Structure formats: structure tokens, C-alpha cells
Amino acid sequence: MRKVKKFAFLALMAVPVSGFGSGYCEQDSSDGIIIEADKSRVISVYRQPVKFLDRSGVRKASVIAQERAKGAIVRYFSQFQTTMREIEEVDQDGEDATRIVDSNGDVTTRTITRNQSAVLRQLDASFAASNISGILQIEESFDKEMSEVCVAVGYSAKSNEMVKKSKEWMKGNTGSDSSSEGIKSEGASMTPGKQSVDSYSRVRKDDW
């Protein structure tokens, strides 16, 4: 019985895993804001298509995804929404007169026209601005088959507190404890001298 269980476990381990790998950028995960209340943190996930599958194209897509993911966090905390409707009604009369002079006298023709219209205009806009310190990129993945980059950025009570401590370090106050941040890489990516980029996944250590 134990041999059967062991064989089944090994067979499961041998199954290849496709897509982005483990983390917030799994293929079945959704874009947008993720709330982890138990850890006091907010995560934003954004996916960006890659038009050119080389290092420059992947880098460009990752920067775009990072900025838009950060923007989603800013909008979550602070957003000013405006909406406006405007109705314009037009009822316009026009008159044209044509005077024709012939041998028998004056002949005048008149044409009267009326134009009516109603126009509805609606404008919706949103603005967001906030000074949020401690936003970190916690995951970046590239799926070559999907031609897509996924970036996840996070903001937490801990990362915000670390910003305050870092400012004290710069002033020479080294009494605060420091914590190391690591990144775990999975897959192959960006080999020197190699223009094409294979699928990869980079995940920050879960200590932020």
C-alpha cells in the first residue's frame, strides 16, 4: 500500500506545470486588487501583452504593468470620481427668400425650414492621487506561450513601517532592526547574449 502511494506521489511530481507558476500571477488568477486582511496588506495584479518577444519588449511590458498595478493601489485608497450630464435642445427656424425679376414683374418665392435636435452628453472621469510609501514589486512573470507579462505589487503595514525606519537609517539612527528581502527565481530568463526570452517567474520572499 505504501509503495502505491509513493508511486502516485512521484507521478504527480513528474507532471509539468505550465503557465506563470505559483503566486499571484497564476493563469487562473484575476487582475485587480487582492486584500489580505490577516496580513494587513493589499496586492495589485496587472497583465500586459508583449508585442516583441525579446528582452527589450519584455522589459517594456513589465514596466507598463508595474506602473498600472501601482496606479490601481492608489485608486483603491484615494479616488475622486466625477460625472456630468448635459442635455442640449435645439429648435431653429430658417427662412429663405428668392426674388426673380422677369418681364411681367417681380416674383418672390419663400422657403421656410425648421431644424429640431436634442443632444445628450455625458462625461465620466476619475482622478486619483496619494502619497503612498512602501509599494513593492512582489512578483513578475513572463509567459512566452501567452506573450504576456504579469506583475504583482504589494503595499502592507510592514512595508510602510520599513520606509519610516529606512529614513531613520539614513539619518544615522541604526537602532532599528533591519529585515532582508529576497527574490526567488523560477525558470530561465534573459541569458547574456541571448535575445529571445523564455518563460520565467520571479517571486519575492513572503516577508513584506
pLDDT-based confidence at 135, cuts 50/70/90? very high
Question: pTM surpassing 0.85?
Answer: no
- What sign does the dihedral 163-167-169-175 (CA atoms) show? negative
Residue 7 lies in a domain: no
Percent of the chain scored above 90 by pLDDT? Answer: 50
- The pLDDT mean for the chain works out to 80
Whole-angstrom Cα distance, residue 153 to residue 141?
12
pLDDT, mean of residues 14-34: 66
- Contact at 8 Å (CB) between 58 and 161? no
* CA–CA gap between residue 188 and residue 142 (Å, rounded): 10
pLDDT greater than 60 at residue 69:
yes
Residue 21, pLDDT score: 39
Distance of CA 4 to the CA centre of its chain: 46
Residue 164 sits in the same domain as residue 67? yes
Average pLDDT over residues 182-188: 53
List pLDDT tens digits, range 79-116: 899 999 999 998 888 888 777 777 676 677 888 898 89
Output Rg (C-alpha) for the chain, integer angstroms: 31
Over 90: is that where the pLDDT of 143 sits? yes
What is the span of the domain harbouring residue 154?
Answer: 20-81+131-170+190-204
Q: Which residues are CB-contacts of 17 (< 8 A; sequence separation ≥ 6)?
A: none
Rounded to an integer, what distance in angstroms lies between the CA atom of residue 69 and that of residue 63? 10
Phi and psi at residue 165, in whole multiples of 5°? -65, -40
pLDDT at 175: 57
Please give the average per-residue pLDDT across 67-74, as a whole number.
Answer: 94
pLDDT recorded at residue 197: 83
Instruction: Judge whether residue 196 has pLDDT over 80.
Output: no
pLDDT band, very low/low/confident/very high, at 29 (cuts 50, 70, 90): confident
91 shares a domain with 25: no
Cell of 67: 506602473
User: Do 64 and 157 belong together in one domain?
Assistant: yes
Residues 157 and 109 placed together within one structural domain of the fold: no
The answer as to whether 15 is a domain residue is no
Q: Are 55 and 149 members of one domain?
A: yes
Distance CA 19, CA 98 (A): 76
pLDDT of residue 11: 39
